[in-house]
């Protein structure tokens, strides 16, 4: 153990060096090219990572540009998978520093991908290296899998699994500690209907790009005059809604609803601007599908108005997000993103939706993912919690998420790290950074976990 800890203490400079170089590659998904199914920058990131791993003495493979792996121990003997990803989401606005500059400031290294998920990837790589350098014998293979398409559909892991390569068991440091052993099921629902012909004359609504995003802003154009504007502004005050009205040309009023954007899996910390807009439209006398959506969804995110509210002790409550709403004279299109508890049945949820929304609204399941759960007393979870507790002194605890990680690509997989419970949420945000001390602790935790799960 002393040897291992000494080896890890020496790795701080390597950590900063490797992570800086990986972060400087803007590995956003782009058009495919030969050997680069997710674009040339993602290919460059994968090749750089594999070259670094090879320099550290590991056996590496590039799986046709979809993913790579880094292996040690008795190869192909019931591998322990550690699943990370090298692709990143776009930098977006609001950065104080170059998002691909890997700027070092005190204990922090700033840049897109530093925490999601290149920092954890480097920590896992160096944990394997430390175990190897300390000469710890292994009874099974340890395999770091470097994914290239986590952010946009996980086609990388489908490809990797289709080659017959996916390990049976393992963990993914792409969320937070302690252990996330439950991921809710996910339903993406599309709603379609002809436009309403009576009630308030709504001209158009066009809100939202992605089903899994809670929109922070929503606008509608409705036919009306200055009196309508005044009415909206009065109602907004009475109903405590952040909706404003202004004239937008001859006899057209624009309603602007301001909420707080967020991720569909975590609605508690957001405020859906579409829901707020619908409540205002209903107060103004809207009919048809928009009234139904106001009645059945509105600003609720627990599914109660849709008859699908449920919860279980493993997973926590169902969540529901109205992410897209388009409406004009030709009809209405909307999407719901539902994250449901492990013990709920998705067929029953869809059945309840149809019953609540009525015959006029066509309900289609656009995507579905089953829930994922690993028992908290399994050897995998027990070993990971022990490693976490031993290295940090913190409580052993399993948690549930509405999000989805690579963990669900493994028969027995959990998310493990790399953020600590008190850390601020940085993934996909402007100003994303990783703490070097935090990553050093990650290395100690992962090395300990590797010894417990794969040590001879």
Just list the catalytic residues. 87, 150
337 is a site residue for Zn ion (CB under 5 A): no
- Nearest to Zn ion of 161, 426 (CB atom): 426
Stretch that binds Zn ion, among 108-116, 357-365, 376-384, 389-397 (CB under 5 A): 108-116
Q: How far is the CB of 14 from Zn ion (least distance, A)?
A: 22
Shortest separation between residue 118's beta carbon and Zn ion, angstroms: 9
* Stretch near Zn ion under the rule CB under 5 A, chosen from 31-39, 116-124, 246-254, 305-313: 116-124
Contacts to Zn ion from residues 167-186, by CB under 5 A: 174
Stretch that binds Zn ion, among 60-68, 117-125, 191-199, 429-437 (CB under 5 A): 117-125
How would you write 145-171 as a 3-class SS string? EEECCCCCCCHHHHHHHHCCCCCCEEE
> Least distance to Zn ion from the beta carbon of 309, Å?
29
Tell the smallest beta-carbon distance from residue 257 to Zn ion (Å). 30
Residue closer to Zn ion by CB (options 174, 183) is 174
Residue closer to Zn ion (CB basis): 69 or 174: 174
The verdict on 156 binding Zn ion (CB under 5 A) reads no
- Rank residues 36 and 84 by Cβ distance to Zn ion and give the closer one: 84
Per CB under 5 A, 52 contacts Zn ion: no
8 A C-beta contact, residue 70 and residue 121: no
141 vs 183, which CB is nearer to Zn ion? 183
In the complex, the smallest distance separating the C-beta of residue 283 from Zn ion, rounded to whole angstroms, is 40
CA 197 to chain centre: 39
Of 3-11, 112-120, 227-235, 344-352, which segment contacts Zn ion by CB under 5 A? 112-120
Q: Between residue 207 and residue 226, which ones bind Zn ion under the rule CB under 5 A?
A: none
Least Cβ distance, residue 304 to Zn ion (angstroms): 31
Near Zn ion by CB under 5 A: residue from 117, 156, 337, 432: 117
Q: Which is nearer to Zn ion, 117 or 183 (CB)?
A: 117
User: What is the C-alpha separation between 78 and 425, in angstroms, rounded?
Assistant: 34
| Binding residue (CB under 5 A) for Zn ion from 69, 87, 116, 149 | 116
Residues interacting with Zn ion, by CB under 5 A? Answer: 116-117, 174
């Amino acid at each position: 153990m002393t040897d291992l800890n000494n080896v890890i203490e020496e790795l701080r400079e390597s950590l900063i060096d490797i992570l800086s170089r990986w972060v400087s590659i803007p590995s956003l998904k782009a058009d495919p090219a030969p050997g680069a199914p997710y674009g040339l920058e993602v290919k460059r990131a994968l090749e750089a990572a594999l070259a670094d791993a090879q320099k550290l003495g590991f056996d590496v493979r590039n799986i046709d540009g979809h993913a790579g792996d880094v292996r040690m121990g008795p190869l192909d003997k019931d591998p322990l998978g550690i699943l990370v990803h090298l692709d990143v989401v776009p930098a977006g606005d609001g950065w104080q520093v170059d998002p691909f500059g890997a700027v070092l400031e005190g204990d922090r290294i700033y840049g897109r991908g530093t925490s999601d998920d290149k920092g954890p990837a480097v920590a896992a790589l160096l944990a394997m290296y430390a175990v190897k350098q300390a000469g710890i014998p292994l009874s099974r293979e340890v395999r770091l899998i470097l994914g290239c398409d986590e952010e946009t559909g996980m086609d990388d892991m489908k490809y990797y699994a289709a080659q017959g390569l996916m390990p049976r068991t393992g963990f993914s440091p792409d969320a937070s500690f302690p252990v996330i052993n439950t991921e809710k099921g996910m339903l993406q629902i599309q709603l379609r209907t002809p436009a309403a012909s009576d009630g308030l004359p709504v001209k158009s609504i066009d809100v939202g790009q992605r089903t899994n995003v809670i929109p922070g802003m929503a606008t509608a154009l409705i036919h009306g005059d200055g009196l309508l504007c005044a009415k909206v502004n009065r109602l907004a005050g009475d109903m405590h809604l952040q909706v404003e009205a202004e004239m937008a040309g001859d006899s057209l009023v624009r309603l602007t609803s301001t909420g707080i954007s967020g991720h569909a899996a975590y609605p508690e910390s957001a405020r859906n601007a579409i829901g707020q807009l619908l409540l205002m439209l209903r107060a103004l006398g809207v009919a048809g599908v928009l009234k139904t959506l106001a009645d059945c969804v509105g600003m609720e995110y627990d599914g109660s108005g849709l008859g699908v509210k449920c919860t279980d002790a493993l997973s926590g409550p169902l969540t529901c997000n109205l992410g897209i709403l388009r409406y004009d004279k030709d009809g209405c299109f909307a999407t719901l993103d539902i994250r449901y508890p492990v013990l709920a049945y998705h067929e029953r949820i869809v059945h309840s939706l149809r019953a609540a929304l009525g015959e006029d609204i066509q309900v289609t399941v656009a995507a579905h993912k089953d829930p994922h759960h690993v028992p908290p007393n399994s050897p995998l979870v027990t070993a990971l919690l022990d490693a976490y507790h031993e290295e940090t002194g913190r409580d052993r605890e399993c948690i549930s998420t509405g999000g989805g990680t690579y963990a669900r690509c493994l028969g027995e997989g959990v998310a493990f790290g790399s953020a600590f419970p008190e850390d601020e949420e940085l993934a996909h945000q402007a100003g994303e950074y990783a703490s070097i001390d935090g990553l050093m602790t990650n290395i100690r935790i992962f090395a300990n976990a590797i010894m417990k799960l794969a040590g001879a």
